[in-house]
Amino acid sequence: MADRSEQSSSSNSRKRKRNPEEWKKNKRKSLRNRGKEYETASKSGEKRTFAAKQLGKDCRCPLKCFEKVTLERRENVSEGFWELGDWTAQNAFLCGSVKVTAVKRRYAKKGEASLHSRRNYSRQYYINDNGMSTRVCKKAFLVILCYIQWQAFSCSIENAKCGISTNRSKG
């Protein structure tokens, strides 16, 4: 008799199973993390729509970044970055594309004899695609990745440099 009640309770459950992939909040988060168009939700009911990430304009710098990196290659890198869809994976991609080096030269300002500066390192940005690594300027790097949040990016580079865990759980 006990066997019968155990079988019926497990097979005839009336509770719905969780399906987090179908929740609106998680769908919005997934779209945002993949660089697609998404809408925000607010308590007041007002929704704001954010457009999908798109490549920006040429940087026109002395490195001639946009001449070195073809449009097709830029699109491949950008799509690959946003298709990762996970903040931690994107952060790892960014950290792998930025080389942090010690400052090679220091210049004194006019009227100052000291070469004291708070800047202790320089960053070099690389676009990696199919085994090819091309150095670009900071502006081109951000334009190619359609990445606007420089503060978060800067923080993630600092964390990776210091060995701090970059895992985060944010909605």
**Domain limits of the chain?**
21-52, 54-112+120-171
Q: What percent of the chain has pLDDT over 70?
A: 76
Residue 50 reports pLDDT greater than 60: yes
- ∠ CA 100-106-109, nearest 5°, is 135
Q: In whole numbers, what is the pLDDT of the chain averaged over residues?
A: 79
Q: What are the CA-CA distances from residue 112 to residues 34, 104, 108, 115, 116 (Å)?
A: 49, 19, 6, 8, 10
- Picking from 97, 103, 95, 105, the residue whose alpha carbon sits closest to that of residue 162 is 95
Query: Do residues 31 and 82 make contact, with C-beta atoms less than 8 angstroms apart?
Result: no
Residue 159 reports pLDDT greater than 70: no
pLDDT in the model for residue 101:
85
The number of angstroms, rounded, from the C-alpha of 166 to the middle of its chain's C-alpha atoms is: 12
pTM: 0.71
Q: What CA–CA distance (Å, rounded) separates 51 from 37?
A: 5
Lowest mean pLDDT among 49-63, 133-147, 152-166: 152-166
Residue 164 reports pLDDT greater than 50: no
Residue 114 reports pLDDT greater than 60: yes
Lowest mean pLDDT among 26-30, 108-112, 131-135, 139-143: 108-112
Q: What CA–CA distance (Å, rounded) separates 121 from 118?
A: 9
pLDDT in the model for residue 126:
92
- Picking from 48, 52, 50, 38, the residue whose alpha carbon sits closest to that of residue 82 is 52
The mean pLDDT value for 134-146 works out to 89
